[in-house]
Chains A and B, each alone.
Chain A
Amino acid sequence: MTIRIANGAGFLGDNLDAPRRLVESAEVDYLTLEYLAELTMSILASIRAKNPGGGFASDFVEVLSILCPGLKQQQQLKIVTNAGGVNPMSCAKAAASILVAAGLDDEPIGVVAGDDILPRLGELQSAGCRFENLETGQPLAEVSEQIVAANVYLGAKPICDALMDDARFVITGRVADACLTVGPAMKQFGWQWDDWNKLAAATVAGHLIECGAQVTGGYSTLWDQYDLSDVGYPIAELSADGGCVITKPMGTGGAVNRQTVVEQLVYEIGDPAHYLTPDVDVDFTTVEVQASEYDRVNVLGATGAPAPDNYKVSLAFRSGYTASGQLLVYGHDCVEKARKCSQIVFERLKCVGVDLAATNTEVLGAGTRFSSSHSNAKEVVLRLTVQDPRRETVVRFTKEIAPLITSGPAGLAGYAAGRSRVMPAFTYWPCLVPKELIEAQVEVRTAKEWAAYDD
């Protein structure tokens, strides 16, 4: 038996038509849509703070409405997504309204929650959880800034449970990305939760497809060898024995070969012998790849060890505000001129008593990012970025760039976009929580029920 699990989104902001193109060009059993990252959680949490009904990946709702015809035609197709962000219930309600409007009233939607421990931080700290920063060892109690998000990376079990309860759609909050694939595999094959090698195989498959086109030629350093304009999104074909083939729909652009697959295997990993998820400790160093035929790569040999005792927590607190301004600087002396402009801006701010906590000057295009060699650039973009706890200070900075047009050196352009936006800044605080203190919640209801659900 083989199941086909595809991925149609690798981050919040990915191509909105990719999921539709995927299901139109290939028949798959599961479509996974991955939307969350460390910073995304902080941004979604800020949205929820202003609007209690927000804080999920609204792109998913748009994708779902595009997918409705396909969902009617392909009865086998199920969707598993972490679009719930910091508000999976509201996401389910929004998704349910789309399904109801399309006449798919009776489709069961499963919601996985329990990852959000922001309201429980005090209680968990009283229970002895220190949430020590994994890098520095500092306990969370020493942080005085406002914590905006605290989400446990849940595992594949609650996703599997929702599918066992016949959910056709599973919407989660924060789960480890690969679990969007591991959950369906566990449901389909009935593997044991201590069959570490099988869990490892499914985790590797999930890791390979979780970033969408990054395994099918996207973001490749061999970019000129692939046609990326209609790049195909990935499909993992999993077998009951733990075998896995990575491929993509026939006739699409991009490529699946040894290079594209291994590039993604090593993407955003630390020690490859211990790729940790809530379900298993995977050893990537035992993995082998065999490019069998065009656009099909066999991935085999993944091994796993027992899962860690703790869940990882994605926690972030506010670090004031940030803003960034840019100017085009032209001329044979553009690098020098750009640096002078930077100096003028910050000196003028200093003169009016604006002292920023952190500033950064970049001369984009000088070609000196990683070396101090002499630049021959004829034009560069000056990028000034600041950060400060006080909003008004950062706002004042954004007003100091345009005046250069009449009071700075000649050869500057690019003011038309107006003053830059002031954005919140966040500090990420990676930490752990014992598994026994966390309970995932799974709730499956029909679209009609979710649409009428009042929490």
Chain B
Amino acid sequence: MMTDKSTIQLSAIATARSGDKGNHANIGVVAFTKTGFDYLREQLTEEEVAKAFASLNPSKIERYELPKVWALNFVLYNALGGGAGKSLQIDTQGKLLGTAILEIELPKPPNLEDMTQDGRTDP
């Protein structure tokens, strides 16, 4: 998943899922390991996510942490063109955002092997 020597794609160290609540979208990002989660806490900021989804023009982005399950939750307010009942976009419910967030590029961490799926210790 490495695009060049100095960066990685988020997909190398996490999975993600997105959905809707009315006109708001949420994106949950789940790190493979605790080390990866600590890295995301530092690197995957609200600003970084705002840059990636600028085209959706959200009114606000909020990040929440779930440290015990190594997950971050991003809420993108008013990002869905009015919500499922009236959005004119094909992705009425923000289903694509989970896949799209994994394309974000982050600086390659020196201990990358402790963050990948292969670096996990549990099943």
Interfacial residues, chain A to chain B (CB-CB below 8 A): 37-39, 42, 135, 214, 219-222, 257-259, 262-273, 284-294, 301, 316, 319, 322, 324, 358-360, 362, 364, 369-372, 383, 385-387, 425-428, 430
Contacts and interface: CB of A to CB of B under 8 A. Distances in A.
Given A135-B23, A259-B30, A285-B67, A267 B86 contact: no
Nearest to B68: A288
A267 to B, nearest CB: 5
B26 A268 contact: yes
B19 A263 contact: no
A427 B82 contact: yes
A266 B28 contact: yes
A37 B22 CA distance: 10
Contact of A37 (B30, B84, B120): B84
Contacts, number: 142
A221 B96 CA distance: 10
Nearest to A292: B123
Contact of A42 (B67, B85, B122): B85
Contacts of A262: 28, 30, 66, 69-71
Contacts of A360: 81, 88-89
A284 B71 CA distance: 11
B123 A221 contact: no
B80 to A, nearest CB: 10
21 contacts: A38-B85, A135-B22, A220-B15, A220-B17, A259-B15, A266-B17, A266-B29, A266-B71, A267-B19, A269-B28, A272-B66, A286-B68, A287-B68, A294-B123, A301-B68, A322-B88, A360-B89, A370-B56, A427-B86, A428-B23, A430-B22
Q: Decide if the interface of chain A is mainly helix, strand, loop or mixed.
A: mixed
A323 B89 CA distance: 11
**Sorted from nearest, which 8 A-B pairs have the closest CB atoms?**
A266-B28, A426-B85, A360-B88, A268-B19, A385-B88, A291-B123, A39-B84, A425-B86
B108 to A, nearest CB: 20
Contacts of A316: 85
A214 B18 CA distance: 11
Contact of A219 (B17, B102, B103): B17
Contacts of B98: 221
A266 B21 contact: no
Given A259-B30, A267-B28, A221 B90 contact: no
Interface in B63-107: 64-71, 73, 75, 81-86, 88-90, 96, 98-100, 102-103
Given A222-B15, A259-B32, A360-B88, 15 more contacts: A214-B17, A221-B11, A221-B98, A258-B69, A265-B28, A265-B69, A265-B71, A266-B17, A268-B26, A287-B68, A291-B122, A293-B123, A322-B88, A387-B86, A430-B22
Contacts of B117: 222
B64 A358 contact: no
Interface residues of B, number: 48
Interface of B: 11, 15-17, 19-24, 26, 28-30, 32, 52-53, 55-56, 64-71, 73, 75, 81-86, 88-90, 96, 98-100, 102-103, 117, 120, 122-123
A82 B85 CA distance: 20
Contacts of B85: 38-39, 42, 316, 319, 425-428
B17 A263 contact: yes
Nearest to B75: A270
B15 A269 contact: no
Contacts of A135: 22-23
A266 B73 contact: yes
B3 to A, nearest CB: 14
B66 A265 contact: yes
A384 to B, nearest CB: 9
A258 B21 contact: no
Nearest to A429: B22
A437 B93 CA distance: 32
A263 B89 contact: no
Nearest to A285: B66
Contacts of B19: 267-268
A286 B68 CA distance: 7
A258 B117 CA distance: 11
